[in-house]
Every structure is written in C-alpha cells, then in structure tokens.
Amino acid sequence: MSSTAQHQAIYRRWRAQTFGQIVGQQAVVETLRNAVRSNRVSQGILFVGPRGTGKTSLARILAKAINCTDLRDGEPCDACPSCVAIREGRTLDLFEIDAASNRGIDAIRDLRERVHYPPGELARKVYILDEAHQITKDAWPVLLKTLEEPPDFVNFMFASTEPSGFPAPILSRLQRFDLRRLTVGEIGGKLKTILAADGRTAEPEAIDLIARLAAGGMRDAESMLDQLLGTDTGALTAEHVREVLGLVEEETVEAFLDALVRGEAVAGVELLDGLEERGRDLGAFTEQAIEGLRLALLASLGRGTPSGLASAGPGALAAAARRLASIDMAHPGAGGLRLQLELALLAPGGAAEVAAPAPARVERPAVRAPALAAAPSAPSASAAPSASASRLPSAPPAPAASAARSAPAVHSAPGEPSLSTAPGARSGPTLALLLERWAEIVEVISKSPPTRPLIVACRPVGVDGNVVTLGFPETQSFFKDVADRRRPILEDGVSRVLGVPVSVRCVAANVEVAPLPEDPDSARLLTEFKRIYGDDAVDVGDVG
C-alpha cells in the first residue's frame, strides 16, 4: 500500500478531503456548509464548471458531510468510519458513475432497480454522476423518474462541464452550483504547498508558468507538476518547466513580437526556424505570443509591468494582436500553424489581404484564440468603414467597438463579394453576417439597460438555419442563465438588425470575451481599448 501511495498522482494525493481544503469556490462551499448545518441538502445537486475545478471533489466531500457521524459546524470530520469509508472508496453506498463510459451507462440502467434498497452501512446512499452531460437519451428517463420521487435516503450529485446537454425536466429538479476557473494565485498557492510538503524548492517564475498554463484547472496544474517533478530531482526552474513543456523562453517570444509589431518579417521567420529546429510547440508558442502582446497592450495603457514593446504604441500593438488572434489554432489549415504565423508577420498594411483565410474560415469561429481576453473589443468593428459594410443599404456605420472579435476574417477580404451583401437571398443569416453586424446588434440590444451586460458578455459562435448561437465564457455561465431568461429581448434585437426572424440559443463555450465591468477600472480599460481599436480601424480603412 505504501509503495502505491508513493507513486500516486499528486492530484489524488492532494485531493481536497474537507470543505476547508477546497481552493477557491468560497461562495459555493459556504452555501453547501450552510445547507449541511441546517440539514437542508437538496436530494438533487448539479455541479457545473470547467475541468479540474473541483466538481467531483465537492460531491465526495458533500457525501461525507451528509453521512458524517461527527459533523463539525457543517464540515465532515474525515475521521469517523463513514468519512473514512468514503475517502478510501470502499463503501457500497456511494456510487461514482462515469457517464462517459459504457460501464456508466449500464450502472444507470441498474440504478432503477437498486435505488430503492436502503443503504447498508452509511446513513444515506449517494450517487455521483460524473460527465453527466454524456448520459444517453434512453438513460435520462430512468433518472427523471427517480428524481421525481427519490427515496428518502438517496442523494444524487451530478457533475458536468456542459449542462446544456441536460434535459430541461432534469435541470429543473437540480440545485445548481457553478464553479469558476481558479486564479493563477490560487493555483500557485496550492502548488507551493505541495512542493513544500515534498521538500522541493522551485523558482517563483516556474510556479507562475505552470499556474498560467493550467488555465484555471487545478488538476492540470497538478499533473504538470507531477510530470516536472518526475523528470528532475533538483530545484524546479523556469528553464526546466519550459524545456519539459516545450515552451519558449521569454526573450524569444519578445523578439518575435518585436518583429511582428515592427513588420520585420524576415527576422520573425528566422526565429520560427529556430523554434522548429529545437522542437518547440508552435501552438504553445502562439499562446505565449498572444499573452505577451496582451501584456504589452496593457503596458501601453499604463497598466501592468512596463514592456519594451509598449513604445510601438497601442495602435500598432492592437493591429498585431488582431493578426495573431485571427489564427485559428484548432484548424490552421494547409501550411499549418507555421504558415499562419508567417502570414501574421507580414507588414501590417499588407496583412489584411495576405492573411485572409479561405472563405470557409469565416463560418468557423476561432473559439480558441484564448488570451485575447483582455484585448477585448472587436476587430470586426474595423469593418465598418469598409466597402462591404457600406454596400448594405440598411447598415449605418457600425460603432467603433463591438464585442465580436473573431471577425477579422470578415473584413480581411475586402476584395471579395461580401458574405453579407444579400441577407434576404439566403434562407437565413450567416455567422459572417452576424459578426459584421454585431456592433449594431450590441447597440440595439444595449438600449435595454438590464440586457446590456448580457450582450456585451457574449459573442456569436454559430448559426444554424435561423437559430443563432451566442457563446458565453464558461467562467461566466451566470450570464448565460440570465440571458436564457431574457432571450426574447435578444431575439428581437438580432432579428431587427438582420431583418429576418431568428431564435437565439445561449451556450457556455470556451470563448473569452470583453472583460466584464467587475471593477471600475475595467470599464475605463474598455473605453481605452475602444479608442485603440477605433484609431486602428481608421488605419486599416486608409490602407484598403
């Protein structure tokens, strides 16, 4: 047993066993503890959140809490026979079902017959259904029946990254808890604790790199740490992190960005040669470059750490950011990511034509383009003064800033017949049209003040017939739920601008949109960015 413990993955060894050990998610934890304290835990609970944010850990802790014989102010003791049996996974009254597996589907089928048997050892029987959005069509009715009249002694806990896959009658019977991505500080803090306990040391920069790469998921961070600690026995250095994870050192990223911003394509291409020779991952490099550019943009606004690039000016930085952001890393197409990066390197003026992707790209939102989160506002707005927009009789010049930022594909092909020229001639709207008119749509819908934060928080990610899909960042699925309730206002706004009736579907997606006004500063920042993109739009217009 001890030898397995030695090789046990960090994320298993360090899995939270009590509410107090959960990192972040304070609001959810507090609500759950209160429910435990007052003995009012719902029999149907749904944990929603990105991977690695603690959904199943919370479900297990809650299972302990409702069974613990030595409960302490809503916190399970983690020492009584019930707690220990759950922690060690050896009680027959806790069912952990992975809905994504075949065995999971069989288990759900069995559930109907067995759910009515009272627990054998614990006070309550608990079913934890992980990846629950993957539950098959024929299995849902079984669950619904059970959820409608659950035996007194049973609790159901669902965990899912995509609750949009749940049937509505199921959702309406579950109490929902939304977990957010963890911050770099939260992840870094736990990594430091783990390292200290293992007697290992690490450069702060190394920890920071891992925490950033994990993108809000503790489990990914812990897996990376595992991998890193297994390949080296000394102090963990940033250099080692980059080496093992295929990352590029900061200086090289900066040199590339310098070439990108200043239009020195040859220097940039040589850098790319070097990276490929050293076997660096261009995908990770592109993300690093986008992040670097974002920081430089902030620096040029007098925020964050000063950057040498900031001297290029916000306009040039924004133009470069837009060229990088238009790279669809999931589908780089012929020539791969390398070619896309080379195209981005070509001089800013020429970039619009050269980097124009095949028209098909237009239909495919660059859902990845991750780190532009803080370079929020929208390239699409720069299309406003272009020929394609003015050909539209009903299209007034769009305001300089819009929330749709995947739109460079739309405006980058000024010579082509615009995809949006004939909305009436098509059976329904296209994503390209939607992106092009997005600024207007935002403006129209913003006239209803309570709806404004919603339309600003999302962007169009798909069109199917007359159904328009709006994506909300997974981290803000709260907005998605509110938007769902105000769908009529959204539908009315979109329909009015496009001139065709549409229905709207709201989904949580892996999109990053403009920063929401969480603090007064971000509102100011947003204004600043609008100004930048506004200036920049003029530049592009002059060139074209």
Under the rule (CB under 5 A), what is the footprint of Zn ion? 68, 70, 76-77, 80, 83
- Nearer to Zn ion among residue 76 and residue 268 (C-beta): 76
- Nearer to Zn ion among residue 121 and residue 138 (C-beta): 121
Give one DSSP letter per residue of 328-375, joined into a string.
-TT---TTHHHHHHHHHHS-HHHHHHHTPPPHHHHTS-----GGGGGS
The dihedral over CA atoms of 148, 152, 154, 155, expressed in degrees to the nearest 10, equals 70
Q: How far is the CB of 81 from Zn ion (least distance, A)?
A: 8
Give the Cα separation of 400 and 402 in Å (integer). 7
Q: How far is the CB of 177 from Zn ion (least distance, A)?
A: 22
Pair 300, 310: CB distance under 8 Å: yes
Q: How far is the CB of 41 from Zn ion (least distance, A)?
A: 15
Pair 534, 319: CB distance under 8 Å: no
Give the Cα separation of 472 and 478 in Å (integer). 9
- Nearer to Zn ion among residue 77 and residue 301 (C-beta): 77
Q: Of the candidates 479, 474, 478, 481, which has an alpha carbon nearest to the alpha carbon of residue 454?
A: 479
Residue 475 tokens, joined: 């981290």
Give one DSSP letter per residue of 108-125, joined into a string.
HHHHHHHTTSPPSSSSSE
- Nearer to Zn ion among residue 83 and residue 457 (C-beta): 83
- Nearer to Zn ion among residue 74 and residue 471 (C-beta): 74
How many Cβ atoms from other residues are within 10 Å of residue 358's Cβ?
10
- Nearer to Zn ion among residue 70 and residue 110 (C-beta): 70
Q: How far is the CB of 70 from Zn ion (least distance, A)?
A: 5
Give the Cα separation of 126 and 236 in Å (integer). 41
Q: How far is the CB of 64 from Zn ion (least distance, A)?
A: 6
Q: How far is CA 196 from the centre of its chain?
A: 30
Q: Of the candidates 156, 151, 66, 90, which has an alpha carbon nearest to the alpha carbon of residue 117?
A: 151
Q: How far is the CB of 66 from Zn ion (least distance, A)?
A: 10
Q: How far is the CB of 84 from Zn ion (least distance, A)?
A: 8
Give the Cα separation of 212 and 385 in Å (integer). 38
- Nearer to Zn ion among residue 76 and residue 515 (C-beta): 76
Q: Provide the angle, in degrees to the nearest 10, between the axes of the packed helices 204-213 and 238-245.
A: 30
Q: How far is the CB of 128 from Zn ion (least distance, A)?
A: 18
Q: Provide the angle, in degrees to the nearest 10, between the axes of the packed helices 438-446 and 487-498.
A: 130
Instruction: Kindly tell me the burial class for residue 361, based on how many C-beta atoms sit within 10 Å of its own C-beta (0-12, 13-18, 19 or more).
Output: buried
The length of the chain, given as a count of residues: 544
Q: How far is the CB of 69 from Zn ion (least distance, A)?
A: 6
Q: Which residue has the tokens 């009515």?
A: 116
Judged by DSSP in three states, 280 sits in coil
Give the Cα separation of 307 and 284 in Å (integer). 21
- Nearer to Zn ion among residue 30 and residue 70 (C-beta): 70
Q: How far is the CB of 77 from Zn ion (least distance, A)?
A: 4
Q: How far is the CB of 52 from Zn ion (least distance, A)?
A: 26
Q: Which residue has the tokens 């950011």?
A: 321
At residue 124, φ and ψ (nearest 5 deg) are -135, 145
- Nearer to Zn ion among residue 64 and residue 280 (C-beta): 64
Q: How far is the CB of 79 from Zn ion (least distance, A)?
A: 6
Strand residue runs (E) in 418-533: 459-464, 467-473, 503-509
Q: What is the DSSP letter of 425?
A: G
Round to the nearest angstrom and report the end-to-end CA distance of the chain.
69
- Nearer to Zn ion among residue 68 and residue 107 (C-beta): 68
- Nearer to Zn ion among residue 21 and residue 164 (C-beta): 21
- Nearer to Zn ion among residue 80 and residue 392 (C-beta): 80
